[in-house]
């Protein structure tokens, strides 16, 4: 290669790198989509909308929440896993899908480690044991007694096969020795509607999905699956206080990007989300819904995802949860 060709080649390489750096520096320069793998009305949807407006203001671009329900979360997860790795299509993940589905579906169509880059932890929430308003049981003990007296006549909802609500329902049955029929839905929103309508008897779900209906007297809350009572529902006892030991379940919600997304983009998102979750009004909105905001670096979220994947695999195996 002569000197002229060498200079030309080096110039082209420098231009390519500078163009790439400029493109990354300009991120974002178009709308960002937050994919929610469930129907509107649940805690995953609530979490996405909790940050969407503030993230839009911080980044100077529209942030759109896109609910892609179906397939027990697999449809939404697949959409993000197959999206371009440029930071414009992101997944607001629900732990029940993100670390539960890989143990439940032989062909989910996505891999939680290989197909996603961790971006930021968003929030955590326990579960609330919730019943229709006219169910003849006002305490957890009364619910267990009623279920035992009416085996097979009660049903419980979940946001899909293998979801945390499904796991919670099966663990509840095992711990109490009751037989209650599982009815899967395509998200918490539709399940709550049928619970209020009396088509469902029981729904063990995250507070944000039901707290307003509980406060409005449209549903009853019998217990929360955490170590302490929730500030949003201070009158509701913990499962231990209600006489059911070992019934502790938490859900978490986090942001992921398609694998291969530039680290600079991921760090930009993580930094801005950290600032958003530190805002008093955001934290207050979350707490009012029974949700606790949480933050992690991308590396910490990656390690956490690996640990949760192993943990929930053991839980699902022990509880003999299946997608059938």
| Helix, strand and coil percent figures for the chain, each rounded to 5 | 45, 20, 35
State residue 23's pLDDT score.
Answer: 46
State residue 317's pLDDT score.
Answer: 85
Round to whole Å and give the CA distance between 76 and 84: 14
Round to whole Å and give the CA distance between 119 and 117: 6
Buried b (16+ CB within 10 A) or exposed e, 199-237: ebbbbbbbbbbbbebbeeeebbbbbbbbeebbebbeebb
Q: Widest CA span of the chain, in angstroms?
A: 91
Per-residue tokens: 40: 């509107």
State residue 324's pLDDT score.
Answer: 56
State residue 186's pLDDT score.
Answer: 83
Fold entry, domain 30-125+251-319: D-Maltodextrin-Binding Protein; domain 2 (3.40.190)
Fold entry, domain 128-224: D-Maltodextrin-Binding Protein; domain 2 (3.40.190)
State residue 14's pLDDT score.
Answer: 53
- The torsion of the CA quartet 288, 66, 219, 277, rounded to 10 degrees, works out to -10
User: Strand, helix or coil at 284?
Assistant: helix
Length of the chain: 324
Q: Where are the domains of the chain?
A: 30-125+251-319, 128-224
Identical fold, 30-125+251-319 and 128-224: yes
Round to whole Å and give the CA distance between 120 and 254: 6
For residues 242 and 222, is the Cβ–Cβ distance under 8 A?
Answer: yes
pTM: 0.81
State residue 106's pLDDT score.
Answer: 85
Number of neighbours of residue 302 by Cβ within 10 angstroms: 16
- Please work out, in degrees rounded to the nearest 5, the angle formed at the alpha carbon of residue 118 by the alpha carbons of 60 and 157: 95
- pLDDT tens, position by position, for the chain (324 residues)? 555 555 555 555 555 544 444 444 589 999 999 999 998 988 999 999 999 999 999 999 999 999 999 888 999 999 999 999 999 999 999 998 999 999 988 889 999 999 999 999 999 999 999 999 999 999 999 999 999 999 999 999 998 877 888 889 988 998 999 999 999 998 889 999 999 999 999 999 999 889 999 999 999 999 999 889 998 999 999 999 999 998 988 889 999 999 999 999 999 999 999 999 999 999 999 999 989 999 999 999 999 999 999 988 988 887 777 765
Per-residue tokens: 141: 């003990």
């Amino acid at each position: 290669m002569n000197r002229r060709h060498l200079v030309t080649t080096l110039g082209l390489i420098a231009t390519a790198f500078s163009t790439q750096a400029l493109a990354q520096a300009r991120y974002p320069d178009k709308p960002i989509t937050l994919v929610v793998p469930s129907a509107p009305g649940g805690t995953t949807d609530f979490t996405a909308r909790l940050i969407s407006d503030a993230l839009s203001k911080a980044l100077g671009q529209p942030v759109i929440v896109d609910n892609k329900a179906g397939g027990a979360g697999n449809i939404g997860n697949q959409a993000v896993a197959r999206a371009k790795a440029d930071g414009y299509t992101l997944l607001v993940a629900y732990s029940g899908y993100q670390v539960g589905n890989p143990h439940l579906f032989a062909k989910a169509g996505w891999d939680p480690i290989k197909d996603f880059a961790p971006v930021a932890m968003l929030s955590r929430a326990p579960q609330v044991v919730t019943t229709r308003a006219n169910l003849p049981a006002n305490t957890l003990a009364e619910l267990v007694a009623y279920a035992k007296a009416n085996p097979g006549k009660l049903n419980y909802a979940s946001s899909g096969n293998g979801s945390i609500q499904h796991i919670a329902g099966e663990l509840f049955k095992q711990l109490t020795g009751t037989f209650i029929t599982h009815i899967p839905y395509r998200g918490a929103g539709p399940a709550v509607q049928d619970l209020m309508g009396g088509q469902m008897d029981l729904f063990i779900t995250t507070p944000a999905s039901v707290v307003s209906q509980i406060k409005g007297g449209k549903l009853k809350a019998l217990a929360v699956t955490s170590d302490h009572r929730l500030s949003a529902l201070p009158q509701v006892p913990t499962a231990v206080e209600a006489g059911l030991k070992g019934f502790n379940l938490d859900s978490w919600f986090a942001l992921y990007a398609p694998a291969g997304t530039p680290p600079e983009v991921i760090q930009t998102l993580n930094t801005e989300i950290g600032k958003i979750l530190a805002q008093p009004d955001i934290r207050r909105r979350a707490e009012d819904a029974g949700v606790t905001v949480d933050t992690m670096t991308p590396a910490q979220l990656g390690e956490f995802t690996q640990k949760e994947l192993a943990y929930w695999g053991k839980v699902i195996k022990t509880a003999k949860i299946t997608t059938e």
